[in-house]
C-alpha cells in the first residue's frame, strides 16, 4: 500500500517559486509514495462561525483530502518574516473544528525558500512553531532554507544544477525515513 504525501505550497501565485519547487521535488519521491500538490488559495478565511453553521464546501473538501494523507511536505516562501497568510489559513481550516484536526500525528517536513539570502529562515521557524502545536512530528535534519531560489530552478519543472538536485534528493530521502518512523 503506497503512502500518500501532500505537498502544500505556501505561495498562491500561479508560478510562485514555492509551487515551482513543489513540482521539481515531486518526482524525487520513489515508487510506493503517491504525492499530490494540494491547493490552498481557494479557501475562504477561517471563521469559527462556520463551525456552527454550514461550512464552505471548500473547507469540507480540503479537510477530507488532507485527512486521507499520511504525511505533509510544506514548501513556503516568507512574507514579512513569517509564513504567508494563505498557508496559515489552510492550517487553521484543517485544525478545526476543535478536536477534529486533520493534521494530528502526521509527519511533516519544511522547505523554505526566498530569492533573498536568508532562505525564508523566519517563515521556516514560525511554521515549525505552528506544526508543533498541531502535533505534527517535524523532520529536524536536514534543514532546508533555499536562498536565491530564482537562480536554482530551471523554469521547466527541475533544478538548474546537479548540486541542488542532490540536496533536494537527500532531503526527500530523509523525509521518507522520517515518515516511515511514524
In the numeric block, the cell 477534529 is attached to: 100
Q: Tell me, what's the pLDDT at 143?
A: 97
* pLDDT recorded at residue 108: 98
- DSSP lists the bridge partners of residue 74 as 8, 110
According to DSSP, residue 154 is labeled -
Degrees, nearest 5: CA angle 40-41-46: 75
Domain ranges of the chain: 3-181
For 162, the grid coordinates are 546537479
Give CATH superfamily name and number for 3-181: Flavodoxin domain (3.40.50.360)
- Where the chain has pLDDT below 50, the residues are none
Q: What is the pLDDT of residues 63-113, one digit of tens each?
A: 999 999 999 999 999 999 999 999 999 999 999 999 999 999 999 999 999
Amino acid at each position: 500500500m503506497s503512502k500518500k504525501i501532500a505537498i502544500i505550497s505556501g505561495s498562491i501565485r500561479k508560478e510562485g517559486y514555492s509551487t515551482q519547487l513543489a513540482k521539481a521535488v515531486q518526482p524525487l519521491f520513489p515508487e510506493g509514495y503517491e504525492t499530490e500538490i494540494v491547493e490552498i488559495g481557494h479557501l475562504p478565511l477561517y471563521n469559527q462561525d462556520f463551525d456552527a453553521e454550514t461550512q464552505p464546501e471548500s473547507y469540507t473538501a480540503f479537510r477530507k483530502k488532507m485527512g486521507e494523507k499520511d504525511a505533509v511536505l510544506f514548501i513556503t516562501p516568507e512574507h514579512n518574516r513569517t509564513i504567508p497568510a494563505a498557508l496559515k489559513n489552510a492550517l487553521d481550516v484543517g485544525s478545526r473544528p476543535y478536536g477534529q484536526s486533520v493534521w494530528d500525528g502526521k509527519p511533516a517536513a519544511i522547505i523554505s525558500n526566498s530569492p533573498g539570502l536568508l532562505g525564508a529562515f523566519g517563515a521556516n521557524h514560525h511554521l515549525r512553531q505552528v506544526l508543533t502545536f498541531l502535533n505534527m512530528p517535524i523532520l529536524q535534519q536536514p534543514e532546508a532554507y533555499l536562498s536565491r531560489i530564482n537562480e536554482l530552478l530551471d523554469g521547466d519543472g527541475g533544478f538548474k544544477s546537479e548540486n541542488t538536485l542532490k540536496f533536494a534528493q537527500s532531503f526527500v530521502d530523509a523525509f521518507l525515513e522520517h515518515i516511515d518512523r511514524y
